[in-house]
């Protein structure tokens, strides 16, 4: 079993705990080098995480002979460019979510990697997390019978005014993130629903900015129909008076309620009775998916989050926001 040698482009917040350590803690995996345009910050990350070397230009990662695969952990606006450059260099690619700014960019990334005969994975790590696999296991075992409907609800309070003054946070700067908090975060839920039920074939949606605290969407409502026949509805409001979030899967014989973002117990309802299933996340939430990628590169199994599956989620996001994004 060979050791997969990783290079990482971007080593900001997401790489500190969620993802970065997974590359040197997974079996048969080594983090060889990291890159950040601010060399001092790259050096600091490398020193604290025991990474052999650091760089302040991406080309040093992309062209390195001792790197087999590249993790792209930069903001969304650069994902396509870095993925295409890695593909041209023959490097396997693991890119953060959202995969790209829109579905068309995702297709370009898939085509480039296919032409270069290199694999492409996307950081929808919930497809490999134990508590989400438990939800899938409950559905597959018939715990709630045939699935009819999914309802997802996400309410968040506006950030403090001082956080939105001056330099706007990148998550609500569409030029960097592709949209707002919905675009950057709700894709996790929609991607996991794709993992459970397969492709969405029809979307009806409304999006708006009601609070005026920033430019992109702050309220979204959507109805989805999956190819398998399951229906879904979602409501997201990022200018509410409370933080609240859950997903409920409604079956013919019961319901499953779980959180996308918090490792709280999974609830299984049958009529008026409820059973709570403990749910915890590992210290580094990307690590199970990273392990599946390393295993696939070594010829064992297949990682569950691919460019193709992530592009389907990007298409759904585009459809939901299509009217809102259209020129007025």
Burial label, 240 (beta-carbon count in 10 A; 0-12, 13-18, 19+): middle
Sequence ranges of the domains in the chain: 4-125+287-300, 130-281
What per-residue confidence (pLDDT) applies to 315? 98
Decide if 124 contacts 191 (C-beta within 8 A): yes
Q: CB neighbours of 196 closer than 8 A, spacing ≥ 6?
A: 135, 136, 139, 249
Q: Any idea which architecture 4-125+287-300 has in CATH?
A: 3-Layer(aba) Sandwich (3.40)
Hey, do 4-125+287-300 and 130-281 end up sharing a CATH topology, with the first three levels equal?
no
Q: Return d(Cα 74, Cα 62) in angstroms, integer.
A: 14
What per-residue confidence (pLDDT) applies to 17? 98
What per-residue confidence (pLDDT) applies to 159? 85
Q: Return d(Cα 160, Cα 295) in angstroms, integer.
A: 43
What per-residue confidence (pLDDT) applies to 264? 97
Across the chain, which has 328 residues, the per-10-residue mean pLDDT values are 97 97 98 98 98 98 98 98 98 98 98 98 98 98 98 94 79 96 98 98 98 95 98 98 98 98 98 96 98 98 98 98 92
Matching CATH number, 130-281, of 3.40.50.2300, 3.30.360.10, 3.40.640.10, 3.40.50.300: 3.30.360.10
Query: Tokens 């870095």 sit at which residue?
Result: 82
- The percent of the chain in helix, strand and coil, each rounded to the nearest 5, is 40, 25, 35
Q: Is 145 helix (H, G, I), strand (E, B) or coil?
A: coil
Q: Return d(Cα 37, Cα 25) in angstroms, integer.
A: 25
Q: Return d(Cα 314, Cα 140) in angstroms, integer.
A: 26
Q: What is the DSSP letter of 64?
A: -
* Closest CA relative to residue 319, chosen from 195, 212, 228, 225: 225
Backbone angles phi, psi at 37, to 5 degrees: -60, -30
Tell me the pTM: 0.97
* Closest CA relative to residue 182, chosen from 98, 272, 306: 98
Taking CA atoms, 140 is separated from 46, 120, 151, 251, 278, in Å, by 42, 28, 19, 12, 18
* Closest CA relative to residue 158, chosen from 209, 213, 95, 98: 213
What per-residue confidence (pLDDT) applies to 327? 86
Alpha helices in the chain (DSSP H): 13-16, 20-25, 39-49, 59-62, 79-88, 103-116, 130-140, 161-164, 174-177, 181, 187-197, 287-297, 307-325
Decide if 95 contacts 121 (C-beta within 8 A): yes
Region of residue 220 (left: phi > 0; alpha: psi -120 to 50; beta: else) = beta
| Four-CA torsion 28, 32, 35, 38, nearest 10 degrees | 120
């Amino acid at each position: 079993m060979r050791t997969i040698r990783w290079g990482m482009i971007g080593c900001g917040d997401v790489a500190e705990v969620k993802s970065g350590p997974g590359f040197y803690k997974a079996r048969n995996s080594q983090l060889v080098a990291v890159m950040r345009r601010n060399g001092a910050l790259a050096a600091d990350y490398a020193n604290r995480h025991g990474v052999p070397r650091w760089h302040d230009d991406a080309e040093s990662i992309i062209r390195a002979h001792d790197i087999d695969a590249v993790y792209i952990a930069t903001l969304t606006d650069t994902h396509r460019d870095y993925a295409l450059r890695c593909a041209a260099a023959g490097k396997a690619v693991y890119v953060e979510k959202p995969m790209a700014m829109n579905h068309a960019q995702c297709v370009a990334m898939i085509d480039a990697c296919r032409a270069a005969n290199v694999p492409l994975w996307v950081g929808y790590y919930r497809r490999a997390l134990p508590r989400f696999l438990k939800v899938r296991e409950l559905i597959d075992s018939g715990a709630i019978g045939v699935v009819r409907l999914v309802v997802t609800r996400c309410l968040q309070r506006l950030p403090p005014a001082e956080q939105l003054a001056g330099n706007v946070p990148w998550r609500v700067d569409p030029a960097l993130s592709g949209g707002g908090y919905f675009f950057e975060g709700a894709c996790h839920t929609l991607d996991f629903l794709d993992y459970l039920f397969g492709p969405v074939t029809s979307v009806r949606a409304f999006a708006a900015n009601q609070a005026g605290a920033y430019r992109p969407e702050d309220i979204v409502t959507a109805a989805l129909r999956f190819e398998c026949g399951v229906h879904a509805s979602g409501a997201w409001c990022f200018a509410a008076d409370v933080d609240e979030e859950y997903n409920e899967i409604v079956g013919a014989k019961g319901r499953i309620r779980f959180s996308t973002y918090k490792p709280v117990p999974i609830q299984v309802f049958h009529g008026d009775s409820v059973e709570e299933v403990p749910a915890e996340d590992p210290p580094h939430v990307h690590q199970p998916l990273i392990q599946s990628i390393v295993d696939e590169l070594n010829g064992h199994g297949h990682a569950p989050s691919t460019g193709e599956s992530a592009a389907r989620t990007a298409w759904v996001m585009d459809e939901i926001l299509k009217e809102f994004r259209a020129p007025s």
